[in-house]
Structure 1
């Protein structure tokens, strides 16, 4: 195993989060995509850690983003669904880094200040970031070649050129500032999310044509429906351009001699199933919705590691703080990955809790072999945060059926499996801060 790089003496590392939107894990070369979309990310993975089993704890924008800012499950952040404002009293990355002497900055899409579609995000809803160049709902203040962001003083800034390029240039300007303290930058893209106003995937000019005959993920090919045939070329073009922006940022860090003094986290808020599982792109327990590419590189992080353990978004904020030598707030519910990577600490839990809102009031457990999900059909998925009673709804054997095509929730041969998963899911729900629910077992029958 290559040795971890060492930061410069007497200085904490810089920290950069490169955060994409709606990017499936299998868009990357490191996860087997043959289209050559992510050479820079693949390089960072070779030099650092690929978190091979990385999952959003809620597969929709605002709740997932709230977890990334706080290390909390979405139901504890005030933003358990879209359109809500994150609570102002929760621990955040920005406040922890700022209090430790970091120069903190946020660039791009925020989506944690309710339904603000235009205008600046109020300072009290920026989670403690000092430097700010963002829009709450970037999909409504921008298009592929038109980008409007607001700075920390509320001033409006318009950028020409492709949207991801504009955010990348802003990030490079932030990185290159003269400063006498380390920086923490959270760079949040809209790509490769669809453009809401017309439901398409606007890649840079000419990029959709590059991928006009795309590799098709096996789950999409098997399901057959949805709109992936129309949108995969544009989606892949957007992913490719994101990697080119990442390359520009890595080159900037290298040129300034700062790459080995910078912790880089690459991840995404959730995946995309192209309307094959429900009427839109995510909001389901399937890996296409919840599994994302996650890579860590930097000082104190071993190189050339493929981490097989199951990791949730709540675990990433404590990881960044520990990597910077900052105490993790006790209220954060995730656990740092660094002891796991060093072979230290207590045993790692090999299941991830998934909360689902908007499409259903649901909870799910993802283990290495099983995907187990429960729902509360009588509740309002927009307004109800959780349920006291759930019904078993989904069971997939991921070893035999990695594309989650056969729902085995009523299979009588798996009754004991369901009983154990029911117990584990109930435990994890309680650990997340919710009351212990009643889960009704599904009568034995095979359901497609």
Structure 2
């Protein structure tokens, strides 16, 4: 049976009251490698995302959402556990999250929820196509998952029946249809549900979206970000056409999900989230992929819609939301118990305007460079912060980057060493130290942490994987 929860509300005269509401359902949808700069509602005039634009007009959309460690496995581990990577050891791809973790689905099951996960997992470290047994599924009961694949038109998954199956056609579309079937079935139940839908696109390969979405960009003159080198302009335009085709395909599935929720008469009492694990450089600054602290890598979209609590009119928030805030906030919005050992903050009252936004910075970290940004490709350990006006980072040698993101939105001018910014640099360094101290991060070398957690890496510092 669905429980009733109590939400505390504060009136203008500081008189408190409590309102009974039904436990909300949660539909959490996230894409892989979708940067905030590639959203219509955030100002991109080329990408076609009408349904996400509509979702933003009905929910709360954040303009300063930061991926705390902008790469797949570390993000996903933080999403599920609410803990910083140095506390879980999950700071590289292709390693296993401790099966005993007190994570997302387990916490919601304690509150009486049914739990489901569909799509990309990337938290088991047992081979990218390998079977993941029930005891390593982190409490998710309904299960249609593969560790990792980017073969979007020839994709498999392990089902709740412990058998290997094929997704029909473009996997994100098939996964969405399955999610819709789950939503419709669960809407008939007396129990609330949580569903995580994890899409592989728009991560490369870029030119593999369904043809109808590729055709949307065939004759479009793509506008490039001003930090893309001229010599890479034509190559980048071609990449973006494929990237945007994936984005538009996923956007169309957002409408299908929203329509299903409305048909099932659960819209008001469903928390619907859309976001991404990290961004994609796509040749900005001449760089590719993720792990960097540049805007294209670290800034992601985040929209939350929950009419029963947040109303039905869209709101814009510049709060410095980070990955660690997601779990405590979803627990808080649901009236659920929040473990004391989480590293983020329940920002529900900030969203509702009942608590002052006093956050000054969000942390970004690369604990061990690996894979697509290993040391031979310029990768390095860093710790940095993003504020509403600046980006600041240190590497193991000291101050590394400082950007004024208002005067220089494409981060073309590194201000480290500029005497006009000495006081700003000192203030940001103090903010960074405060963040690291709060998380017990001593900022040691990557190999130090690799050794501590017993990860087996190759000569590039990367955990090898097998298909």
Residue 192 (structure 2) pairs with residue 182 (structure 1):
yes
Match of 1:314 among 313, 319, 324: 324
> Which residue of structure 2 lines up, in the alignment, with residue 215 of structure 1?
222
Structure 2: which 5+ residue stretches go unaligned?
Answer: 1-18, 370-378, 446-467
> Which residue of structure 1 lines up, in the alignment, with residue 382 of structure 2?
362
Q: CA deviation at 1:397?
A: 1.0
> Which residue of structure 2 lines up, in the alignment, with residue 152 of structure 1?
160
> Which residue of structure 2 lines up, in the alignment, with residue 405 of structure 1?
412
The alpha-carbon distance between structure 1 residues 368 and 223, as it changes in their structure 2 partners (threshold 3 A), is: farther
Deviations 1:319-345 (A, max 9, x none): 111111111111111112211022234
> Which residue of structure 2 lines up, in the alignment, with residue 192 of structure 1?
202
CA–CA separation in structure 2 for the residues paired with 1:214 and 1:290: 26
The alpha-carbon distance between structure 1 residues 414 and 223, as it changes in their structure 2 partners (threshold 3 A), is: farther
CA–CA separation in structure 2 for the residues paired with 1:410 and 1:38: 41
The alpha-carbon distance between structure 1 residues 74 and 277, as it changes in their structure 2 partners (threshold 3 A), is: farther
CA–CA separation in structure 1 for the residues paired with 2:231 and 2:198: 32
In the alignment of these two chains, the number of paired residues is 411
Matches within 5 A, 1:31-430: 31-35=42-46, 37-139=48-150, 143-177=151-185, 178-195=188-205, 200-212=206-218, 213-221=220-228, 225=232, 227-277=235-285, 280-298=288-306, 299-302=308-311, 303-345=313-355, 347-356=357-366, 357-358=368-369, 359-376=379-396, 390-430=397-437
The alpha-carbon distance between structure 1 residues 279 and 29, as it changes in their structure 2 partners (threshold 3 A), is: closer
Q: CA deviation at 1:207?
A: 2.3
Deviations 1:316-374 (A, max 9, x none): 11111111111111111111221102223465312100011422211111111111111
> Which residue of structure 2 lines up, in the alignment, with residue 19 of structure 1?
30
CA–CA separation in structure 2 for the residues paired with 1:30 and 1:279: 25
Aligned residue for 2:318, secondary structure, equals strand
TM-score under structure 1 length normalisation: 0.87
Q: CA deviation at 1:277?
A: 4.0
The alpha-carbon distance between structure 1 residues 256 and 74, as it changes in their structure 2 partners (threshold 3 A), is: same
> Which residue of structure 2 lines up, in the alignment, with residue 382 of structure 1?
none
CA–CA separation in structure 2 for the residues paired with 1:425 and 1:224: 36
Q: CA deviation at 1:15?
A: 0.4
Deviations 1:417-440 (A, max 9, x none): 2111111111101112213779xx
Aligned residue for 2:394, secondary structure, equals strand
CA contact (8 A) 1:21 1:190 kept: yes
Deviations 1:61-115 (A, max 9, x none): 1111111112222222221111211233433111111110101000000001114
CA–CA separation in structure 1 for the residues paired with 2:336 and 2:423: 43
CA–CA separation in structure 1 for the residues paired with 2:422 and 2:282: 32
CA contact (8 A) 1:22 1:193 kept: yes
Q: CA RMSD in A?
A: 2.1
Q: CA deviation at 1:251?
A: 0.6
Deviations 1:107-133 (A, max 9, x none): 000001114212222323222111111
Residue 455 (structure 2) pairs with residue 435 (structure 1):
no
